[in-house]
Structure 1
Amino acid sequence: MTAYEDSTAADGGAGAPQEDGVDRRRRPGRFGAAVSVLLAAVLLFPQLVPNARFRAGSLVETFLPWLGVLAVLLLVVGLARRSPLAVGAATVPLAAWLLLFAPLVTGGASGDGARLSVVQHNVSDENPDPVGTAQALAAPGPDLIAVEELTEEAAPSYRRALREAYPHHVAYGTVALWSRHPLLSDEPVDLRPSAVGDGWQRGLRTVVRTPHGDVAVYVVHLPSLRITSEGMRTQRRDESARLLGARLERERSGRVLVAGDLNGTLDDRGLAPVTGRLGRPQGHFAFSWPERFPVARIDHVLGRSAAVVELHTLPATGSDHLPVLARVDLRGG
C-alpha cells in the first residue's frame, strides 16, 4: 500500500465521502439541529408565526402541545444517527416544552379554597341521549352545569332530568345554565358576528348567589372554525371573541366566571380579547375535542377574581365533545 492509499484508508476511504471538504454524514446532524432550534423558537414564541392570510399562527397555537411529539422524534432520529449535535439540539425544544407544559402533566391541586364546581359541556345538537347526558353531567355533583348546542327538542329532557337537584335555570337560544344556588338576574349576551343573520343567540349572563358571595357567570358558544385548503378560517370566531372581550371589559362584578365552547385553545391569539381579561386555569391538559381522540381543549371555564384551581374531563356522553369539570376558588384569581 502506498503512503497516499494508506492516508485515504485512515480517513475512511470510500466509507466517508467528501464534498467541498465536508463529511456528508455531518449534514443530517446539522439539519436536525437547525430544525430543533426552529421548533424551540416556535414553542416559546408562537406569536412570531404570521397569521395574516392562512391563520397559520392560530393553527400552530391550537395544537401547540403536540409540537412536543416532533421534539421527541428529533431526539430519536439523532440517537439513531448517533449524532451528538442532533441529540444535544433536540433537548432544546424538549426543555422548552417542559417549561411550558410540565404543570399540565402533573395537574393542579384543589386545596381547601375550592368552593365552587362547574361542569361545562357542548352537548351537541345531534345528541341521541339527552337524558343520559344530563345524568352524566350531574353525577359529579357540581354547583353549576353550563351547556351549549341545546336544542328546543332536547331542552325539556334536560329540564326534567336536572330540575330536582338544580332548581335554578336560565336559557337563551342554544346556551343554558343549571344551578344549585339562586340566580339573581339574567340577560342575553350578543355575540353575533356581522355576517350572521338574526336568531343566532349563543351567549348569556346571570348572577349566581353562592354561599360565598355573588358571581357573574357567562355561558357562551363562539362560532366554529374550519380548516380548509386555504388555511384555518377563524374570522367569525374572532369577531365574537372581540364582542365578548368588550363585554367583559364593561363587567363591573367583582367575581366573574366564563364557561363555554370557545372553539379555540387558550394559546390561540384569536381568543386574546377574552383570555387577556381572565386568569388561566390550573389542571391537566383536559383535551375535550373531538370525543373519540381528543387533541385540544376548546371547552373552558375561566375566572376573574375567581381562580380555576383544578380542571379535568369527564367520561364521554352522546356528544362529540367531552365534558369538562372545573373547581373554583372564589377567594381570588
Structure 2
Amino acid sequence: MHRRLVTAAVVLLALPVTVLLAFHRSVPNVAGFGSVLDTAAPLLLLAVPVLILGAVVARTPTAVVAALVPLLVWGMLFGRAWLPKGDPGATQLRVASQNVNAANPDPAATADAVAATDADVVALVEVAEGLREPTAGTMAAHYAHHVRVSTVELWSRYPIVDYAPVDTALGWERALRAVVDTPEGEVAVYAVHLGSARPGVTATRDRSLRALADAVAADRAERLVVLGDLNTAVTDRVIAPLRDLVRDAQADAGRGPGATWPATLPVIRPDQIFYRGLVATASTVVRTPETDHRAVVAGFRFG
C-alpha cells in the first residue's frame, strides 16, 4: 500500500510538470502570465530530484518512468545550452554588460570588476545620477571613449564615431546606439535597458521590446551587437521579434543558461548579448560586487 501511494504521488507531480514543460508556450499570455511561465520553465527541472527520490522510495517501474519523463522533456527543450560550443578562433572584440543597480552603495567597485573582464566595449545600465561620478572615475582609467543617454552608458577602448538615443517607447530615453570604430572595422552597438516586468505586469516591457526590435530591423549596419538588461529571458515568447533578427552569444558560445539575476543565486538571465555579422567565440557570466545583477561578457571575431 505504501509503495502504491508513493507511486501515485510521483505520477501526480510528474504529470503537471511534464505538461507545463512541453506546452508552456501554449498557455495564453493573459496579464503576462504566459511570459512569466516561459521564463520560469527551465526551473521546473528542480522538481526532478524530488520525483527521483519518490521513485527510489516507491521502487516501481511506473514511478521510475514518471520521474524520468519530465527530465527527458527538459533535456530536449533546454539541454542544448549545456553542450560544448563556440568558435575556436581568436577573440578580436570582447564586450560586456552590467546592470549597476540604482541603489548600489559602491558603484566604483562594480565598475572596477567589470573593467577587470578586459572587455573592449562595456555597456552600463541603471547608472543613476548619484552613481555617475564614482563610476566614471573608475571606468575612465580603462576606457578612453564614453557616451551616455540618461541612465545608460557605453564605454569603449576604441573611438565612438557616432551615437544617438534609441526610442524604446518608455516615454523617456533609456537606450542608445553607437558606432564603435574597432581595428577590424565598425560595429554598431546598442546599450539598452528595457522596461521593467513583474508577474502580471509586462505591458511596458513588451512595448519597449517591440520598439527595440523595430530599431534593429531597420538598422543597416553589417555588424551589430545588442547589450543590456532587456528584462526578458530568451525562453520568453515575447522576445521572438528581436531574436529573429540576431543571434544569442550565450546560446552560441556559452555553457549553461548563463543566469545573472539575482546576483547572490541567479536563476534567470535578463541581461543579454545579441549580435549579427560576427562570430561568437566565448560567453560567460561574472560575479561583480555591490549590485543585484551579474555581468555578462562575450567574445567575437570578425568573419
How does the TM-score come out when normalised to structure 1? 0.83
Superposed displacement of residue 125, structure 1:
1.1
- SS where residue 258 of structure 1 aligns? strand
Q: Tell me the residue number matched to 2:210.
A: 242
More helix, by proportion: 2
Contact 2:7–2:54 (Cα < 8 Å) also in 1: no
**What does 1:3-18 correspond to in 2, within 5 Å?**
none
What secondary structure is seen at the aligned counterpart in 2 of 1:56? helix
Q: Which of residues 280, 283, 305 is equivalent to 2:277?
A: 305
1:83-141 Cα shifts (integer Å, max 9, x gaps): 21121132122122223333433554452143211111000111111222221111121
Are 1:39 and 2:39 counterparts? no
- In structure 2, C-alpha distance between the alignment counterparts of 1:280 and 1:84, rounded to whole Å: 40
Tell whether the 8 Å contact from 1:170 to 1:176 is kept in structure 2 after alignment: yes
Q: Distance in 2 between matches of 1:246 and 1:171?
A: 22
Letter in 1 for 2:33: A
SS of 1:245's equivalent in the other structure is: helix
For structure 2, the residue ranges without an aligned partner over 5 or more in a row are: none
Counterpart of 2:286, as a letter, is L
Residue 220 of structure 1 is matched in structure 2 by: 192
AA aligned opposite 1:157:
P
5 Å matches for 1:277-296? 277-281=245-249, 282=252, 283-284=254-255, 285-296=257-268
Residues 1:184 and 2:152 are matched in the alignment: no
1:98 and 1:76 map into 2 onto residues whose CA distance is 19
The amino acid that maps onto 1:81 is: A
Contact kept, 8 Å, 1:110 with 1:327, in 2: the verdict is no
2:3–2:59: 8 Å Cα contact kept in structure 1? Answer: no
Listed as ranges, the matches of 1:40-59 within 5 Å are 40-53=18-31, 55-59=32-36
Give yes or no for contact 1:72–1:94 (8 Å, CA) kept in 2: no
Distance 1:307 1:31, change over 3 A: farther
> CA-atom RMSD, angstroms?
2.1
Q: Are the equivalent residues in 1 in contact too, given 2:87–2:279 (CA < 8 A)?
A: no
Size of the aligned set, in residue pairs, is 299
CA distance in 2, matches of 1:108, 1:180: 28
Task: Work out which of the residue numbers 83, 100, 105 in structure 2 matches 1:128.
Answer: 105
Identity of aligned residues (%): 34
TM-fit CA distance, 1:157? 2.3
Q: Does the residue aligned with 1:219 lie in a helix, a strand or coil? A: strand
Give the residue type in structure 2 aligned to 1:58. Answer: S
Q: Is the 8 A contact 2:21 2:70 kept in 1?
A: yes
- Secondary structure of the 1:96 match is helix
Whether contact under 8 Å (2:189, 2:224) holds in the other structure is yes
Structure possessing the higher radius of gyration over alpha carbons: 1
CA offset digits 1:1-22 (Å, max 9, x no partner): xxxxxxxxxxxxxxx6xxxxxx
Letter paired with 1:270: V
Q: Which runs of 5+ in 1 are unaligned?
A: 1-15, 17-23
Q: For each residue in 1:245-299, what CA deviation from the matched residue of structure 2 results, as whole angstroms up to 9, or x when unmatched?
A: 1111101111110001011211111222222221122313221111122111111
Q: CA deviation at 1:50?
A: 2.0
Question: CA offset at residue 147 of structure 1?
Answer: 0.5
Q: What is the aligned partner in structure 2 of residue 105 from structure 1?
A: 82
How far did 1:33 drift?
3.6
Q: Which residue is 1:13 aligned to?
A: none
Contact 1:108 1:311 in 2 (8 A): no
Residue of 54, 60, 71 corresponding to 2:48? 71
